[in-house]
Amino acid sequence: MSALVATRRNPVMRTFYHRLLAEGKPKKVALVACMRKLLTILNAMLRTETDRRPLAHRDTA
């Protein structure tokens, strides 16, 4: 479910998902690729002990 939400709300994952669809991948295959990419990102965050980066367009006020 998190990969599905990421393909709709995260600009990087959305671009990746739509690029895969444009290349002719079936929707489920593209979604599984996004799941794998999300796991890779999360593992890297755990390894380097970093927090997620806030989105640039969000208001801090």
Residue 50 is predicted with a pLDDT of 86
Please tell me the distance from the alpha carbon of residue 38 to that of residue 15, in angstroms, as a whole number: 13
Predicted TM-score (pTM) of this structure: 0.78
Please tell me the distance from the alpha carbon of residue 46 to that of residue 20, in angstroms, as a whole number: 27
Q: Are 37 and 30 in contact (CB under 8 A)?
A: no
For 19-47, the pLDDT digits (tens) are: 999 999 999 999 999 999 999 989 998 99
Check whether 9 has a pLDDT greater than 60.
yes
Check whether 61 has a pLDDT greater than 50.
no
Q: Are 7 and 33 in contact (CB under 8 A)?
A: no
